[in-house]
Amino acid sequence: CKCQYKHIVDWCGCSPNDFKPQDLVRIQQLTRPTFFARKFESMVNQEAIDILDTHLYGHYAPGTVAIKAYWESLFEQADGVGSLSDVALTAYSSFFRLGLRSLDSSQTSLETCRYEPIGYPVSVHLYFYDERFQGYLVRQEVQNVGSRVRETVEVWAVPQATMQLENNLREFERLKNLEVGTEWDPKERIFRNFGGVIGPLDEPVAVQKWVRGPNLTATIVWIDPAQTVAASYDISVDVDAEYTQYKPPLQRPLRPGAWTVRVLRLWERVAEARFLVMPLAFKGREPLHQEEDSWLHAGPPGNLYLEQGFQQLRSVLKLPPQEPALQEAQQRAQLVGKPLEAWVDRTVGAFWVTGDLCSTLPSPGPCPSLGPCTKSTWSSLAPDPKSELGPVKGDGRIR
């Protein structure tokens, strides 16, 4: 527990941090008059739970599956599509279409592997393995193009790393990561919006991770898909700083497409990360309409993200000419229907790949490369013995 009054009192009134393996020594101090551990969170650290579980109940049998896997449900059909944000619904639908397309292209000669999505996703999970976020699992009903038979398929969408470090970093060798997202949790130091599903109305924050090293000053520059310099600011990094973060108060809507955030030393690029602002296929969970909704994709009023413009930095940053990129962005802002869907899938496909697909049918269906989900170790329908709860026993325990 990071508590500002710990030097004064022997209790802590703030919200404690999640337990990690290095904290478990505190639970083992049985001579203390009182002790408790109340905050365990699998998506932050599952190993601490496994260690405690083993301490209480002993080891699982050798070969037990899914010990290092963790699935967290984000959406089920019973929640209703209205519970999803427009950007989440856009993302999950696109992940699913891209998955079906990858299946179709990998089995080009097989008509039996061509499917059309039906309706909306029926289930969405976050998937973690060995303490790392592995992607989204989206389940939805499909119809086989040839046979018109329906079944339910799960797609695994995997995010791609986008950070690049330059050579000859000198004091900037301290920089270990650069990431942009929303829902930054400063206590656990993670983005709660896993994979960075960001839309035009969101407020992204750039976070830099450092190791100890010399004091330094870095310039951070944000560049939008039309090559507009959206923001530029300096950050001071102290000797023992581990994280620096800043959320520039950008005018919205943010222009959809691939954004770039650069870390500069004396205007020379040290590192760069790309992030996606997704075009929205939905507004209020309804398909986008051209007349009233095109403002969502048009970028900020007057093409200014902050009160001051940064166009004078274009030459220093060696950006390509802006006019063609701006024209293209303006044309895309008018898209609706299938052309909009195609643009969404193109942009999402540049940041996400399909890890695998599976079918909920108990036995193999018409497409040979669609195995059953219960036998796909990554699937949310795969066996997970460590998470199974039986009836309460006579002594009041569940295990």
| Helix or strand (DSSP H, E) at 369 | none
Domain total of the chain: 2
Q: How confident is the model at residue 169 (pLDDT cuts 50, 70, 90)?
A: confident
Answer yes or no: do 185 and 245 share one domain: yes
Answer yes or no: do 121 and 191 share one domain: no
* Between 18 and 223, residue with greater pLDDT: 223
Answer yes or no: do 94 and 213 share one domain: no
- Show the domain range for 94: 69-159+353-375
Answer yes or no: do 286 and 369 share one domain: no
Q: Give the single-character DSSP code of 198.
A: B
Across-strand partners of 153? 140, 359
Select from 103, 175, 177, 91 the least CA-distant residue to 145: 103
318 in any annotated domain: yes
Helix locations, the chain, DSSP H: 47-57, 86-106, 290-293, 322-332, 337-349
Whether the pLDDT of residue 31 is over 60: the answer is yes
CA angle, 206 as apex, 43 and 261 as ends, to 5°?
125
Answer yes or no: do 141 and 194 share one domain: no
72 by Cβ neighbours in 10 Å (0-12 / 13-18 / 19+) ranks as: middle
Check which CATH number belongs to the domain holding 229 and give it.
Answer: 2.60.40.1930
| pLDDT tens, position by position, 252-296 | 999 999 999 999 999 999 999 999 999 999 999 999 987 789 999
203 in any annotated domain: yes
Sequential DSSP letters for 116-177: EEEEEEEEEEEEEETTEEEEEEEEEEEEETTT--EEEEEEEEEEPP--EE-S--GGGGGEEE
pLDDT of residue 284: 95
Answer yes or no: do 299 and 178 share one domain: yes
What is the rounded CA–CA span in Å between residue 59 and residue 313?
59
Whether the pLDDT of residue 384 is over 90: the answer is yes
What is the rounded CA–CA span in Å between residue 341 and residue 337?
6
Answer yes or no: do 182 and 265 share one domain: yes
Answer yes or no: do 323 and 363 share one domain: no
222 in any annotated domain: yes
Q: Are 202 and 279 in contact (CB under 8 A)?
A: no
pLDDT of residue 389: 87
| pLDDT tens, position by position, 245-259 | 999 999 999 999 999
Residue pointed to by tokens 């919205």: 252
| pLDDT tens, position by position, 319-378 | 999 999 999 999 999 999 999 999 999 999 999 999 999 999 988 888 888 999 999 999
| pLDDT tens, position by position, 33-63 | 766 667 899 999 999 999 989 988 899 999 9
116 in any annotated domain: yes
* Between 97 and 9, residue with greater pLDDT: 97
* Between 220 and 9, residue with greater pLDDT: 220
Q: What is the mean pLDDT of residues 140-163?
A: 95
Tokens of 79: 């929640």
Answer yes or no: do 192 and 312 share one domain: yes
Q: What is the mean pLDDT of residues 298-312?
A: 94
| pLDDT tens, position by position, 86-112 | 999 999 999 999 999 999 887 666 788
pLDDT of residue 110: 78
Q: How confident is the model at residue 13 (pLDDT cuts 50, 70, 90)?
A: low
Answer yes or no: do 146 and 184 share one domain: no
254 in any annotated domain: yes
Answer yes or no: do 189 and 257 share one domain: yes
4 in any annotated domain: no
Answer yes or no: do 146 and 181 share one domain: no
Mean pLDDT of the chain: 93
Cα–chain center distance at 247: 18
91 in any annotated domain: yes
- Confidence (pTM): 0.93
235 in any annotated domain: yes
Q: How many CA atoms within 13 Å lie on the side-chain side of 114? A: 9
